[in-house]
Amino acid sequence: MSQHRRVLGTVQEDPGILRFVNSHDAPRLAALGTSCPDHFLRTKIKPLYVDWNPEEGNEDTLTRALSAGLEQYREDYADYYATHRRPSSPIMRDPNPTVILIPGLGMIAWGKDKSESRVTAEFYSAAVEVMRGAQAIDEYTALPLQEAFDIEYWLLEEAKLQRMPPEKELARRIIAVVGAGSGIGREVALRLAREGAHVVSADLDADAAQDTATLITDTHGVGIGVAGSGISNCGPAVGLQVDVTSRESIAALLRQVALAYGGLDGIAVTAGIFVSPDADGKIPDDKWTLTYSVNVTGHYLVADEAARMLKDQGLPASVVLTTSVNAVVAKKGSLAYDTSKAAANHLVRELAIELAPIVRVNGVAPATVVEGSAMFPRDRVLASLAKYDIDHSNDEETEALRQKLAQFYANRTLLKQPITPADQAEAMFLLLTDRLLQTTGQIITVDGGLHEAFLR
């Protein structure tokens, strides 16, 4: 569906649509197309009715039927254009359908964004009711093909399309942010949404993930809804729970992404964990295992599961992992964290090789980010202030304590400014766009100039 331009989908499976796609007359009526010009501009000359019997078929036969149906639809549309075009007609537009009807399953409508796909679904649902009413009275009749073509390729309509503002940089992109519930992840999600991306806000904390999605939706709108409910009826963002240490949980997340939007174009993984040593300065074995499970294996599992979808799609995609400048700085007190991040650095390089040429894989290595970080609860902030002998009082507000700690870390860098989640989000945004299409297997450091981390 996205061979011409990327599109997003909306699945509709309410009783009215199911009654239509499962009916004896559906193939004939669908081929006639809609009779309303306003609807026709959304739903094109006709939908694709997939020749598939759900009682006899399976997933493989449906895939083959969809592929064959799409190929035939494109050929039919090109013939329709060539037959009815006029000397002044605009060039042929995307030859793919905007509505796909599947017996037993329902309808999938497509558009440049979630809002448009939902509107398209709403329009075709209305067309179905027109057909039902017309059939009850006598016989449904559609527009003549030439008249339909003249509406679709009306010069005034073309002029309106040409005058529309340019799409934002990440328009038509679906990007999952794993760890979007707080800190860097939340800032990344908000940054991507500002540039037009549809954001999958995923986090171990389901409520936090939903909070980020709600913030995006409240800011950027939800569009017009369609009948029915469920994840496919979402807006520009959806909040989902995921445990990166569980392959099954990640696979479930990706299934939900497909149902919500139709596919995936990029992933940013910001989930991470830091475990403080015990009183003896040691990391308990179970905490060592947990550190690697989240910071290394979890990143691998997300990329590995997503690779199946990304390779099947065959569209250029980007994966960005969060590592750390600690990966190249040996020091006392964070053995498990630092070595896990060193492993994550090399994981970026290995995945870049494994997933090429379709998927680019890069990393962002922050210095310590205190602001908004779930890894810096009050007790860790107090412990760090005490460890570094920074003047403070236990009665101070948490945010004031965090600022003191952030400035301490900043003073160790060349630029002397605290590193913020927004700084990291900008680097991730850059790697998720098309600006660095020839960059893969690289680590971008965002640390304010921590000279201890300079490459040797």
Spatial distance between the Cα atoms of 8 and 115, rounded to a whole number of angstroms? 9
Spatial distance between the Cα atoms of 219 and 58, rounded to a whole number of angstroms? 41
What do you get for the CA distance between the two ends of the chain, in Å?
47
Cβ density class 87-121: b for 16+ within 10 Å, e for less: eebeeeebbbbbbbbbbebbbbbbbebbbbbbbbb
Structure token pair of residue 245: 């240490």
Spatial distance between the Cα atoms of 367 and 416, rounded to a whole number of angstroms? 12
Residues 357, 310: contact at Cβ < 8 Å?
no
Residue 84 φ/ψ region, left for φ over 0, alpha for ψ in the -120 to 50 degree band, beta for the rest = alpha
Provide the 3-class DSSP secondary structure of residue 340: helix
* Helix axes 247-261 and 298-313, enclosed angle (nearest 10): 40
Q: Are strands 48-49 and 174-178 parallel, antiparallel or unpaired?
A: unpaired
Distances 454 to 328, 441, 451 between C-alpha atoms, Å? 8, 18, 5
Residues 109, 120: contact at Cβ < 8 Å?
yes
Query: Annotated active-site positions, please?
Result: 337
C-alpha triplet 5, 10, 11: angle, nearest 5°: 130
Amino acid at 5: R
Spatial distance between the Cα atoms of 354 and 437, rounded to a whole number of angstroms? 17
Burial class, 15, CB count within 10 angstroms (exposed 0-12 / middle 13-18 / buried 19+): exposed
R_g (Cα) of the chain, nearest Å? 26
Spatial distance between the Cα atoms of 408 and 423, rounded to a whole number of angstroms? 18
Cis peptide before 15 (omega within 30 of 0): no
Give all strands (DSSP E) within 251-370, no chain letters.
266-269, 317-322, 359-366
Structure token pair of residue 140: 């449904």
Amino acid at 26: A
